[in-house]
């Protein structure tokens, strides 16, 4: 079985990109990162990709003034690199139908809460401030509704008594760095299917 070819979209430090690269190197994750796209020219994730020898396309704010044109540019790069899946890893832009139509049911997103709870860009803060006892991490397929696509996998994270917001963030990120490579392995091994009900099924 050949490795699953993915493109990774990021906007920041690239820790989830690093987790995927580490899993490829250390755990035999059958994935090849063929392209990285950064929405910001100052993202540290660019450096991580370059040091690993992965091609990087750097976007900027002005290029996103027309979001569909921006996605068309990204799609061209991803297709040119042979990407089969798009993996959003801390990507702070909403993808348009241009991207979703180019990679139907093959655009993954990682969300730092248990969807459908705490959607949006401040999920960790929102869960912490709401006083819930359990939050977590969700991997889902992106669609045209923000944080509403079919759920692929979820892992809960307990908010312990006296836990600070910073400690919760560390706990959330630790789960992300395990869950994303695990889901990618399941996809690469052909164990993920989508039912007629749009529910995702994973063969264990």
Find the mean pLDDT for residues 13-41. Answer: 97
Q: Is the pTM of this model over 0.85?
A: yes
96-137 per-position pLDDT tens digit: 999 999 999 999 999 999 999 999 889 999 999 999 999 999
Q: Hey, how many other C-beta atoms are within 10 angstroms of the C-beta on 51?
A: 9
Q: Which residue has the tokens 């990162």?
A: 33
Q: Given a cut of 80, is residue 1 above it in pLDDT?
A: no
Q: 154 φ, ψ to 5°?
A: -140, 145
201 included as an active-site residue = no
Number of alpha carbons in the 13 Å side-chain half-sphere of residue 57: 19
> CA geometry: angle at 103 spanning 96 and 81, to 5°?
105
91 vs 88: CA distance, rounded Å: 5
Catalytic choice (111, 122, 173, 201): 111
Please report which helix (H) or strand (E) contains residue 179, including its range.
Answer: helix 165-188
Assigned token pair, 192: 């993920």
CB contact at 8 A, 112 and 137: yes
178-203 per-position pLDDT tens digit: 999 999 999 999 999 999 999 999 99
Mean pLDDT of the residues in the chain? 96
Find the mean pLDDT for residues 32-47. Answer: 98
- What CA–CA distances, in Å, run from 69 to 9, 63, 73, 104, 192? 16, 8, 6, 18, 31
Residue 88: strand, helix, or coil: strand
Q: 52 φ, ψ to 5°?
A: -90, 0
For 2-133, list the strands marked E by DSSP: 4-10, 31-38, 56-58, 85-88, 107-111
């Amino acid at each position: 079985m050949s490795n699953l070819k993915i493109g990774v979209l990021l906007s920041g430090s690239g820790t989830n990109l690093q987790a995927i690269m580490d899993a490829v190197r250390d755990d035999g994750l059958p994935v090849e990162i063929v392209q990285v796209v950064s929405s910001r020219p100052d993202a540290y994730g660019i450096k991580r990709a370059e040091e690993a020898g992965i091609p990087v396309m750097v976007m900027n704010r002005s290029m996103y003034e027309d979001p569909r044109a921006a996605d068309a540019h990204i799609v061209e790069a991803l297709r040119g690199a042979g990407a089969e899946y798009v993996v959003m890893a801390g990507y702070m832009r909403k993808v348009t139908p241009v991207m979703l139509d180019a990679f139907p049911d093959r655009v993954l997103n990682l969300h730092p809460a248990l969807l459908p709870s705490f959607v949006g860009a401040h999920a960790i803060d929102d869960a912490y401030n709401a006083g819930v006892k359990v939050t977590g991490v969700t991997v889902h397929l992106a669609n045209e509704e923000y944080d509403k696509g079919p759920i692929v996998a979820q892992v809960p994270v307990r908010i312990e008594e006296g836990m600070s917001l910073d400690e919760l963030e560390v706990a959330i990120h630790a789960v992300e760095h395990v869950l994303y490579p695990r889901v990618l392995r399941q996809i690469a091994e052909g164990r993920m299917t989508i039912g007629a009900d749009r529910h995702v099924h994973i063969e264990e």
